[in-house]
Each structure stands twice: as structure tokens, then as C-alpha cells.
Structure 1
Amino acid sequence: MMDMLVRLYDLPDIEEDLRRLEREGFLIRRPGAYERHLVADWVGRNFSPKWVSEAKVAFGRQPISCYIATREKKILGFACYDVTARGFLGPMGVAEEVRRSGLGTVLLVSALKGLRELGYAYGVIGGVGPADFYARAVGAMPIEGSSPGIYMDILPEP
């Protein structure tokens, strides 16, 4: 695992992709506080219990520091920010059936814009999995010496 750095003042324009996804029936938005259990359940079913813990933190922020993607009232992706640590993006994930649709990029940029709105000039993507995706989508760069990054003292699963 490594961390990556993103210039928040130089994010790509996603408006065309956002409009296309909306035409395809997707809705990208911040969830409401009343949806915390739904998002947490979906994250737990599709990803990791550790990510559930982090996603729940997003609902304690004002505004909620998470974006979700839905279609026909079904959650298909999420991206949280400023939860693992201040200025960090993640966790984020997209349902397997809609990967390569552009949804991940739109969620990523939406969450990074959330960091920028908080006043950050740079964001950190912690514990990166698909480094090529982040580099291509937003020009993220590896932070030398960051492995294993913030997760170095993580407790084992019970």
C-alpha cells in the first residue's frame, strides 16, 4: 500500500461525464443523514468492515463528506473524504457491474472537490489500490516512502 498526492487546484472537468451518467439514470449526490445505515450496509456487503467504519465518520461531518451514486434507488458507488485523516480521500468504491462506466471518476472528482471546498490545495489518497486509475483520472502521484502509510498500525480483524 502507498499513498498518492493530488493537486486539488487542477482537477479535471467532469461535467460532460456527469451529464452522460445522468442521462443513463445515475444520480450522484451527497447522501442524507437518514441514509447512513443504507450506505454503511452497502459498503459492508460490497467492500470491507474497515471501510464501513470510515464511511460512518463521513456522516458526522457537516456537510456530509461522502458522495454516492445511485440508479433506480440502488447504491452503485461511494466516495468519502476527510474521514481517515484530514485531507485524505477514501474510502471509495464502485459496484463491479458499473466499473469502467466513468462513474468512479465522477465520484472521485466530486469528493476531491469536497476537499478543495474545505480549503485544501492538495489531497492525499491513502492506501491506494488501483494506482493507475488515480494517476490517469486526476494526475495523482505516488508519495515516496509512504508505504504502508497511515495504515501501518492497523489492528487485525477479530
Structure 2
Amino acid sequence: MKDLLVGLHRLNLSLKETKGDVKIVRLLSPNSDALVTFIEKNFSKGWASEIKAAIYKPHPTAFIAVKDSKIVGFAAYDATAKGYFGPIGVDESLRGLNIGTALLVYSLEAMLHDGYGYAIIGGVNEKVAEFYKKTVGAITIDMEGNVYDRLVRGLYL
């Protein structure tokens, strides 16, 4: 698993559009419990723990995709480390509607407006790396190790 680097000044903002009446919004703190529950149910406790770093701050660095008043996807930045994008996830039944791409671009655009020139996408496997390379021009950082090397696995309560 390698880290990827994305130049934020070259984003294609037209990729923020979704299909299927899905709205992307920055998370507001009263919706944080619903987001954590969505992630625990559809993804993992690890990602739920990671997302808390993005949502429990005065200006949350998390976005949600909403359809029919329900959370159907999420993305965050500055969660595990400053300058890092992720985690991101979309309800499996709604994949293919450009929701993940839109969440990615909304988040990266927010990072640009927060003063970042680049974003790191950490610990990406090869299959997922191709999505980031194709969608936002990510490149592989050819170095050993990453911020996740100090993660103690299995400590989720």
C-alpha cells in the first residue's frame, strides 16, 4: 500500500455533479452521530474512529452525500493527519452514480481553499489507486512507509 499525491490546483470541478438526486454537503455537528453509525454499519469501526477526528472540530473537515434525507456516502480530510484525504465511502447499492467522485472533489477543493497545495491519499491499494490516478491525476509517492505504520491494529472497541 502506497501513498498518493494530488496537486490541488489542477482539479476538474465539473466532477462534483452526481446522478440520482444526491446532494453533497459539509457535515454539520448535529449529524455527526448519524455519520458514525453509517460508517460502522457499512464500513468499519476503524473508519468510524478515523472520521471522528474530522467531525469533532469547530469547522468539520467531512462531507456527506445525502439522498432522501439519509446519509449514503462520506469523505473527509485532515482526519488521521494534516494534509491527508480520506477515508471515503459510498453505500454499495448507490455506487456508479458519481457520488464517490463528487465527494472526493468536494473534499479536495475544500483542502485547496484551506490553503493546501497538495493532498496526500494515504495507504492506497493498487486497485483503488487507479481510481485516484484517473479521476484527479494522483501520482504514487515512491517511498517506503506512511503515517499508518504506527497504527496498532485491533484496538477498536
Q: TM-score, normalised by structure 2?
A: 0.91
Structure 2 equivalent of residue 150 of structure 1:
147
CA distance in 1, matches of 2:71, 2:92: 12
CA drift of 1:91 comes to: 0.5
Structure 2 equivalent of residue 119 of structure 1:
115
Q: Is 1:52 paired with 2:23?
A: no
Structure 2 equivalent of residue 12 of structure 1:
12
CA drift of 1:74 comes to: 1.6
Letter of the structure 1 residue corresponding to residue 32 of structure 2: R
CA drift of 1:134 comes to: 0.4
Q: Is 1:138 paired with 2:141?
A: no
Q: Displaced runs of 4+ in structure 1, greater than 4 A?
A: none
Letter of the structure 2 residue corresponding to residue 39 of structure 1: L
Structure 1 equivalent of residue 73 of structure 2:
77
CA drift of 1:121 comes to: 0.3
Structure 1 equivalent of residue 83 of structure 2:
87
CA distance in 1, matches of 2:93, 2:48: 21
RMSD: 1.4
CA drift of 1:118 comes to: 1.1
Match of 2:96 among 90, 94, 100: 100
**DSSP 3-state at the match of 1:44:** helix
CA drift of 1:87 comes to: 0.4
CA drift of 1:133 comes to: 0.5
CA distance in 1, matches of 2:57, 2:5: 23
**DSSP 3-state at the match of 1:157:** coil
Gaps of at least 5 residues in structure 2 are none
**Number of equivalences:** 153
* CA displacement 1:94-137 (0-9 Å, x = unmatched): 11112122111100000011111110100000111400110011
**DSSP 3-state at the match of 1:110:** helix
CA distance in 2, matches of 1:136, 1:61: 32
Gaps of at least 5 residues in structure 1 are none
